[in-house]
Amino acid sequence: MKRLLTFATLVALLVACRSEAPDLVLNDLDYFERQGVNVLVYSNPFTGGFNDEKDSGIEVVHHGVRTVQGGAVRLSVTPEQWDLVPKMTSREVDRENGRIEVGLRYDWYDFDSRVVVEAKGKAVEISVFLDKPVPDVLAGEAGFNLEFLPSQYWNKAYLADGKPDRFPRYAVSDTKARPNGEKVRQFKGYRTYDDRGTGQFVEALPLSTGHEFLLAPDDPARMVKVSSESELSLFDGRMLAQNGWFVLRSVLPAGQTGKVLTWTVEPNAIPGWIREPNVGFSQMGYVPDQPKVAVIELDRNDKVKGSASVWKVDADGSSRQVFSGPVKVWGDYFKYRYAKFDFSELTDSGVYFLQYGDVRTGNFIIDPSVYDKITVATSDVWIPVHMNHMAVHEAYRLWHGEPFKEGYLQAPPGTDHFDLHWQGPTTDTRFKALELIPGLNVGGYFDAGDFDIETGSNISVVMNLITLWEQFRSERDETFVSEEQRYVELHRPDGTPDILQYIEHGVLNLVAQAEQIGHMAQTLSNSVLDNYHHLGDAAGITDGLHYDPRLKPYQKSADGKSSGTPDDMWAFTSRNPGLDLQAATMLAAASRVLADYDPGLAARALKQSIRLQEEGMKLMAADTTTRRRNQFGNISSSLQLYVSTKEPHYLEQFTNAVWPALERAPMYALNTALDAVPYLDDAYKEKLRPYVEQYRDYILQLEDENPYGVPIGLGNWAGGGQVTSFGTTVCNAYRHYPDIIGKEHIYKAPSWLFGCHPYHNYSWVAAVGAARPKQVFYGNNRADFSFIPGNMAPGLLFRQPDHFENYDDWPFLWGQNEGTIAGNTGYLIWGETFRGALNE
């Protein structure tokens, strides 16, 4: 993507370049810019889907890192994810006067404000305007907040009106308790906290107050000066939520209109700052005949060097240069410039590193074995750690105890859930609201960084595991699983292939749903927000005791089996026949796979499959919209059913659907079409050929689109899953049509996954192979700034209008650092497919 500069901006930049310290300029992408500093004003409004995602409002990208966000009128001292966020009602960019104005509104309180940001030399002036005074109920609560990234500020100094202090490494500031009646409404009226019967909520008290704050004077890259005639207070958002940021805030005055508040914010710019080149390469290393191309990401003000070199680490620990070659400019892509360095001619087994200018990379290996173990951390650790309703042990460590012993209650009709679920006007079951649905606390997988059972993704997981078993027959046995003991132990072989046990574990929950509820639940999820955001041992999310409303909250029954604490999980049971049909397909396939290993479960799965299929088809026949919507997913099911039964009507279903799907969406349908090649005749393979040629053109077009040659997602959830799907399709296309798809293309996905990508060069996959995998992920251990081995991060998150990022010192942004159960089993499929293609 090439950016064109208008004449006005060009002149402004030239003028700015001549003076010693350039001023902030409002550029063509509608943000304020000087070398080292970008100030964004609602390029990213608060519309991410999960409320306050900590990446919206007024933001600062400071020397390449987005360290400030959340600039907005907010209704609390340290807003949490589920505090209300303002809706942006307007955004006007006045380029001539270097000014951006946004309208903000809280519908619930009928409260409007306008925030104006204007360039004033090296600073921006932020003003808040009100046409009507702050509503009485929000007086003293509404304020202007700006949030600073803790991991970039902790341990650094600050001056509040000249008085020195230090940002705390851990949340230890003072708090006060206030009556619940004074709490400003949270998302959908839910509460983020359990008040333990006190009737009070907790609020952080300021670390410091003053009229001028100088943040991080000890670090020029992070130094920001903020001054105002209003009183400024600095808070630590981590007091209420581990993902909170440092918050600088001024309360809006009550009873006033017009310009009610002005701040001057001046982020320091290091004179002549140029971002250090990011040399992207595969941390996993390379097999000898693999193309080896580093992609170097460069500041546009940087001068591209003519050459780079490769060094080999010798057996005595010394290193020597073994290769030098030209660096070729690829061009611009969003904010940065890219160049490539090809060192493919190195093929000798060994340990190497790259040198580009002053940048020396971490080391990598060239050897035929580098990809041998890319899936084991995911299959041996990540997946079993996500097994629900089991205690999971590893050597001396307990990952989690047995969760949700009290089971699941029927969600009451009309529930509008906080995690994007709902219970319709009826239960669609034989159960009354809040009645215990027996037998659901068995099997299943935690969805992601949270602990619910998303039925749709659990179905995908089992399908992915079945694919792994049927296509690759991995007999790997490193995990002990006992459903009787509800006990899992990592690294303890028990004589049964792990994949079969993982399939069984997924099926146990899904069959129980079909048997107990009568159809598939949408989700088995938390009933209260204050245990949804749980971090740590899953066994402690609920108290394990049945909820009895006759007891007082926190009170236990005499027999110790129930409590008055309403913490039990709920089953959301509104019927979706599309989901039932997906389950039917999966259960049919599972019954085939489990027939020898667990014949009892296989028989139950088949029985439910046939029933769900019949009922689902009947329900769908009455509803044309769902029928159309599910047509696409059924292509794969028809193929599955044909493969296992060889009945011709499934083949007919498949061929009737696959060609129109290839016409509609060739990029998505091709992999399913390729899956059929081994089972169908030469005519099918020949008819598919033009679509594979079309896919080759798409692959080549990606090489022009971006310097990495993989599809790069620009959505609010980064595109790691898109890259593994792309990689799987490319490998399958290469295996069946090597004359069309060259082998060189199969290496693009692994290069990206293992370190050749923008922002930094860490591998996206936790703990696997690389010298420098990413270190922090949004797993359920994120409060420890840690990872669960084998997790593949979504990775590179795009923020409008031109910024890519992936924090590796701050795990809490799910869109870049979470891992999902469906995504990580997708990674396993890619890994096995890739290793198969590698050896062809």
Q: Give yes or no for a contact between 353 and 311, defined as CB atoms under 8 angstroms apart.
A: yes
By CB under 5 A, name the one of 53, 101, 141, 406 that touches Ca ion: 406
**Stretch near Ca ion under the rule CB under 5 A, chosen from 100-108, 144-152, 473-481, 585-593:** 473-481
- Choose one: 54-62, 313-321, 360-368, 402-410; the region binding Ca ion (CB under 5 A): 402-410
| Cβ 400 to Ca ion shortest distance, Å | 16
Q: Which is nearer to Ca ion, 353 or 445 (CB)?
A: 445
* 112 contributes a contact to Ca ion by CB under 5 A: no
Of 142 and 503, which has the nearer Cβ to Ca ion?
A: 503
CB of 412 to Ca ion, least distance (A): 16
Instruction: Tell me the β-bridge partners of 186.
Output: 83
Q: Which is nearer to Ca ion, 394 or 567 (CB)?
A: 567
- Closest separation between CB of residue 570 and Ca ion, Å? 11
The answer to the question of residue 33 lying near Ca ion (CB under 5 A) is: no
**Cis amide bond preceding 801, omega within 30:** yes
477 binds Ca ion (CB under 5 A): yes
**Considering only residues 452-471, where is the footprint of Ca ion by CB under 5 A?**
452
Stretch that binds Ca ion, among 433-441, 536-544, 588-596, 763-771 (CB under 5 A): 536-544
**Per-residue contact track with Ca ion, 543 to 582, x per CB under 5 A?**
x-x---------------------xx--------------
From residue 78, alpha-carbon distances to 48, 112, 180, 243, 286 in Å are 19, 20, 16, 11, 47
Tokens of 575: 């019927």
140 dihedral zone (left: phi>0; alpha: psi -120 to 50; beta) = left
What is the b/e burial string over 737-750, where b = at least 16 CB atoms within 10 angstroms of the residue's CB?
Answer: beeebebebbbbbb
Tell me the closest approach of the beta carbon of residue 278 to Ca ion, in angstroms.
32
Residue closer to Ca ion, measured from CB, 297 or 447? 447
| Closer residue to Ca ion (CB): 326 or 438 | 438
Give the nearest residue (CB) to Ca ion: 447
Cα 200 to Cα 138, 179, 203, 207, distances in angstroms: 18, 4, 10, 22
Cβ proximity to Ca ion, 55 vs 567, nearer residue: 567
Interface characters, 414-453, with Ca ion (x: CB under 5 A): ---------------------------------x--x-x-
| Span near Ca ion by CB under 5 A; candidates 477-485, 680-688, 707-715, 796-804 | 477-485
3-state secondary structure of 212: strand
Asked whether the CA dihedral 704, 709, 713, 714 is positive or negative, the reply is negative
Q: CB-wise, 295 or 541, nearer to Ca ion?
A: 541
Q: Which is nearer to Ca ion, 579 or 746 (CB)?
A: 579
Contacts 24+ apart (CB under 8 A), 381-384: 381/490, 381/767, 381/788, 381/789, 381/790, 382/766, 382/788, 382/789, 382/790, 382/791, 382/819, 382/824, 383/445, 383/502, 383/790, 383/821, 383/824, 383/825, 384/479, 384/481, 384/488, 384/490, 384/498, 384/502
What's the start-to-end Cα distance of the chain, in Å? 36
Tell the smallest beta-carbon distance from residue 597 to Ca ion (Å).
11
* Residue among 27 and 525 whose Cβ is closer to Ca ion: 525
The DSSP bridge partners found for residue 54 are: none
d(CA 233, CA 254): 17
319 binds Ca ion (CB under 5 A): no
Segment interacting with Ca ion (CB under 5 A) among 73-81, 87-95, 363-371, 539-547: 539-547
Rounded CA-CA distance 839/837 in Å is 5
Window 629-648: contact mask with Ca ion (x via CB under 5 A): --------------------
CB of 769 to Ca ion, least distance (A): 23
Strand pairing report for 408-410 and 569-572: parallel
Per-position b or e across 357-389, b if 16+ CB within 10 A of its CB = beeebebbbbbeebbeebbbbbbbbbbbbbbbb
Helix (H, G, I), strand (E, B) or coil at 155: coil
Min separation Cβ 530 and Ca ion, Å: 13
Whose Cβ is closer to Ca ion: residue 85's or residue 490's?
490
Give the number of other CB atoms < 10 A from CB of residue 700: 12
Q: How far apart are CA 477 and CA 464, in angstroms?
A: 18
Q: Which is nearer to Ca ion, 50 or 109 (CB)?
A: 50
Q: Which is nearer to Ca ion, 409 or 756 (CB)?
A: 409
Q: Write down the least CB distance from residue 512 to Ca ion, Å.
A: 19
- Per rule CB under 5 A, is residue 542 in the interface with Ca ion? yes
Tokens read off for 68 = 């400030």
Enter the tokens of residue 357: 């200018």
As a whole number of angstroms, the distance between CA 128 and CA 101 comes to: 10
Give the count of residues interacting with Ca ion (CB under 5 A). Answer: 14
CB count within 10 Å of CB 834 equals 24
Residues 742-801 that bind Ca ion (CB under 5 A): none
Q: One symbol per residue from 479 to 518: x for binding Ca ion (CB under 5 A), - otherwise; what is it?
A: x--------------x-x-x--------------------
Taking the complex as a whole, the smallest distance from the CB of residue 483 to Ca ion amounts, in Å, to 12
- Angle among Cα 499, 503, 508 to the nearest 5 degrees reads 150
- Phi and psi dihedrals of 783, rounded to 5? -65, -20
- The residue ranges that bind Ca ion (CB under 5 A) are 406, 447, 450, 452, 477, 479, 494, 496, 498, 542-543, 545, 567-568
